[in-house]
Chain A
Amino acid sequence: MSRRRVVITGVGVVAPGGIGSKDFWQLLTEGRTATRRISFFDPSPFRSQVAAEADFDAELLGLTPHQIRRMDRAAQFAVVAAREAMADSGLEFEGLEPHRTGVTIGSAVGATTGLDQEYRTVSDGGRLDLVDHSYAVPHLYNYLVPSSFAAEVALAAGAEGPCTVVSTGCTSGLDAVGHAAELIREGSADIMIAGATDAPISPITVACFDAIKATTPSNDSPESASRPFDDRRNGFVLGEGSAVFVLEELGAARRRGAHVRAEIAGYATRSNAYHMTGLRADGREMAEAIRVAMDEAEIGPEAIDYVNAHGSGTRQNDRHETAAVKRSLGAHAYRTPMSSIKSMVGHSLGAIGSIEIAASVLAIEHDVVPPTANLHVPDPECDLDYVPLTAREWPTDTVLTVGSGFGGFQSAMVLTSARGGAPGGRTL
């Protein structure tokens, strides 16, 4: 029996520097950065005072006052991104069998911003041990359990099939889409609205990354603070945003004349079973995830035209990832451009994996690979082609995108153009 193939037919993005996939792609290809001094609260007490913030006006973007009241910022992002993806897909959701449409939304830290604000209020600024429930927002339960994010997207789509949040730290955005593709492949759903969201720019998140010096202290130069693969990098820059996709089975998409944006050809995740925040330098588990994802896509390393890196801009990540790519792609690693868009839009934790899938889809469509901004002084330990500073016109049919996260999760996905036959010469 031939395997059901899963394609992306709709893309929606909420990112720092641009709402909507068009603005997002423009930012990336111009090599501009959306990192700035934190404006959501006074960051001066913190070690790291820089973030990539989205200029997001929920009301302007069509959410009603009720929706805004009951949703955390991250849920609002997801609904806005889902609406763009659904419109982009051209699907008539009204006419669909609701039980065959599902939702998978990734998020690493859930409603952390809403919870931080609410805690501050109910505890009266941390004064009360026995926090006062009478001061809580009525929809606090939606913040407590972030499955509310998937529920909101399901309501927006009228979806009544399998619905869940995937929360595997910073690989959530890859794992959520990988999971959704699996549901279509196995026949549990025909259409999935899948993606990820996070809005972590809040005092508690900034403080917890300060505590382990994971984020950059480059407060004097916010716009160039995210420097993956650069020898002067000194930590990641927190970001926020969402990307959501419409996924369909290829045959069904073609029959309705859909614009197929890309195929999800392979996906895998592995754990390093090593440390909650640490990475071993050899990149073995990420390499294994890459290898299995390529196997599933039925391609070899030579088919990879571009690697969308995790590239968080910590020394340990950049070296781990470089080792993993060399280990899995062999000599081809040196011939393949590999860049980190986190240099421009920051690291939005669970959301970024999906935002990077969106960048990968756009790279395939435009035959352009986005650059790694702020890469002026290469780290001698990182000796691949990281596409410094400027986007590159580059024939891009197949993209490998990878992620790595706290908890030891390592994930990889292969996306292809689905223009012709299947990769590896499979037939339809």
Chain B
Amino acid sequence: MAVRSDARVVVTGLGIAAPNGLGSAGYWDATRRGVHGIGRIARFDPASYPATLAGEIDGFAAEELLPGRLIPQTDRVTRLALVSTDWAFEDAGVRPEEFPEFDMGVVTASSSGGFEFGQGELQNLWSRGGAYVSAYQSFAWFYAVNSGQISIRNGMRGPSGVVVSDQAGGLDAVAQARRQIRKGTRLVVSGGMDASICPWGWVGLLASRRLSTSTDPARAYLPFDGAAHGHVPGEGGALLVLEDLDSARERGAPQVYGEIAGYGATFDPAPGTGREPGLRKAIEVALDDAGLAPGDIDVVFADGAAVPELDRVEAEAIGKVFGPRGVPVTVPKAMTGRLCSGAAALDLATACLAMRDGVIPPTPHVTPADTYDLDLVGARPRTAQVRAALVLARGYGGFNSAVVVRACDR
């Protein structure tokens, strides 16, 4: 296929693994009803740590869903990614073996790779010696593992990639996937998945100094609330099947959730420069790329850091673009915790489902602080026609990304 810089790139399949639901049907059912998946960490005893709550995925039986030989060589995050990809293909009605092999690629985001696997092998190294380190360590933990394993399992020989931009990565991956499709690859699996709820990962996350120390799952992660005091981390994310619109129509895709219509990314100015943070610029670039005006956006899926200073920056950026209370804003990740690179990919999938069903999911337990002047979709979901959604994501250290997803008439 030839390069077509204006080719329309659409989402045709969703694969979701989230703390409040496995599979897109279960996740969406829980999310629109405001059911959260946050609780005291069960995977290990968190009593010795200042933060004890996380969004953990329960009931994921990888052994029943994947070939046995993949289990010993994969971290939990890769099993989640492989199974979510299977679900996304199923949803899209795609049998990868029927696609030309160089016409399919994989672009994923990762924040910490197979970190739990890495903890086990570091422990083997330091407590027992180098000879006890697994032969799988060389590839089970690194950031490229999910893209590699997805491409192998599904015979995808087209362009693949991996980006790391902390929480913004999920959107950056999708933008890169769109780029590859526009350069001629028919189908790209893209999104993000992270799962580092292990003691070693927890110590790393604690070092961000942004974790909530609350022990009440309903009060721990309250983005834009006056009582915001940090976030709850979670595990999971989403993998999406992205395709060239013409190609998707030609093969009779069962549905087109929406079009990846616009993307913008910026990095914050160095501290002390007095320059405005980069989020507003990222939004403006994404809108411009989509050819839409602020008034065309029906909902904003906010990043929702739940750190007062970061909430203020985000609320100001949204306010400057859309005006005070100018657009409905929601943070469904308040129900899952922040999933690192999986978070924005999941928000994008959620935006697709919101467009399909005309429902904006809620931000449970949050009473937005008046100073932010946001029209936050609070405890209850809101019925609304959603023709275009803006998804925002920010990564630790200054990364800002924005994606516009737009309904696509068939």
A interface, CB within 8 angstroms of B: 45-46, 98-99, 102-103, 107-110, 115-116, 119-120, 122-123, 125-127, 129-133, 136-148, 150-151, 154-155, 158-169, 172, 175, 179, 182, 186, 188, 203-204, 206-212, 214, 268-277, 285, 288, 405-409
Contact = CB atoms under 8 A, between A and B. Distances in A.
Interface residues of B, number: 88
Contacts of A211: 133-135, 137-138
Most chain A CB within 10 A, of B119, B129, B165, B340, is at B165
A99 B266 contact: yes
A158 B281 CA distance: 16
4 closest A-B pairs (Cβ-Cβ)? A407-B148, A126-B127, A126-B126, A144-B204
B162 A166 contact: yes
Contacts of A108: 142-144
Contacts of B49: 133
A358 B144 CA distance: 24
Interface string B160-193: 1111111011001000100100000000000000
Contact of B200 (A119, A141, A162, A175): A119
Given A167-B143, A168-B144, A271-B105, A147 B130 contact: no
B60 interface: no
A159 B267 contact: yes
A188 B208 CA distance: 30
B164 A147 contact: yes
A175 B5 CA distance: 20
Interface stretch (B215-223, B235-243, B328-336, B391-399): B391-399
Contacts of A271: 105-106, 147-148, 151, 156-160
B152 A408 contact: yes
8 contacts: A110-B164, A130-B48, A132-B203, A141-B396, A150-B164, A155-B270, A160-B267, A273-B152
Interface of B: 5, 44-45, 48-50, 73, 101-102, 105-106, 110-113, 115, 118-119, 121-131, 133-135, 137-139, 142-145, 147-149, 151-152, 154-166, 168-169, 172, 176, 179, 196, 199-208, 265-270, 275, 278, 281, 340, 395-399
A423 to B, nearest CB: 18
A116 B45 CA distance: 23
A137 B105 CA distance: 38
Contact of B164 (A46, A143, A146): A146
A130 B45 contact: yes
A127 B127 contact: yes
Nearest to B109: A164
A147 B143 CA distance: 11
Contacts of A186: 5, 179
A273 B155 contact: yes
Contact of B119 (A45, A119, A408): A119
A162 B266 contact: yes
Contacts of A214: 138
B139 A276 contact: yes
Given A131-B199, A182-B179, A273-B151, A160 B268 contact: yes
A46 B133 CA distance: 11
Given A167-B110, A277-B139, A148 B397 contact: yes
B149 A123 contact: no
A408 B158 CA distance: 11
A406 B278 CA distance: 35
A92 to B, nearest CB: 17
Given A146-B143, A409-B160, A169 B45 contact: no
Contacts of B126: 119-120, 123, 125-126
Contacts of A146: 143, 164
A46 B131 CA distance: 8
B191 to A, nearest CB: 15
Count chain A CB atoms within 10 A of each CB in B149, B152, B160, B176 and give the residue with the most: B160
Contacts of B154: 273
A270 B133 contact: no
Contacts, number: 271
A144 B112 contact: yes
B203 A133 contact: yes
Contacts of B201: 144
A44 B219 CA distance: 52
A173 to B, nearest CB: 13
A407 B203 CA distance: 28
Contacts of B278: 99, 160
B161 A407 contact: no
Contacts of B399: 147, 151, 163-164
A98 B151 CA distance: 36
Contacts of B44: 129-130
A151 to B, nearest CB: 4
A136 B152 contact: no
Contacts of A164: 163-165, 168-169, 172, 265, 399
Contact of A126 (B48, B128, B203): B128
Contacts of A125: 126-127
Contacts of B119: 119, 131
Contacts of A155: 270
A145 B127 contact: no
A188 B265 CA distance: 9
Nearest to B159: A269
Nearest to B107: A168
Given A110-B113, A119-B126, A167-B143, 10 more contacts: A140-B203, A155-B270, A163-B266, A168-B161, A208-B134, A271-B151, A275-B152, A276-B73, A276-B148, A288-B157
Nearest to B74: A276
A160 B159 contact: no
A138 B199 contact: no
B138 A406 contact: yes
A306 B200 CA distance: 46
Interface centre among B110, B159, B161 (most CB of A within 10 A): B161
A128 B150 CA distance: 33
A115 B114 CA distance: 13
Contacts of A129: 44, 123, 199
Contacts of A131: 119, 199-200, 203
B165 A208 contact: no
A349 B198 CA distance: 27
A179 B112 contact: no
Contact of A208 (B102, B121, B155, B397): B121
Most buried by B among A46, A109, A169: A169
Contacts of B145: 276, 407
Contacts of A268: 159
Nearest to A275: B152
A163 B138 contact: no
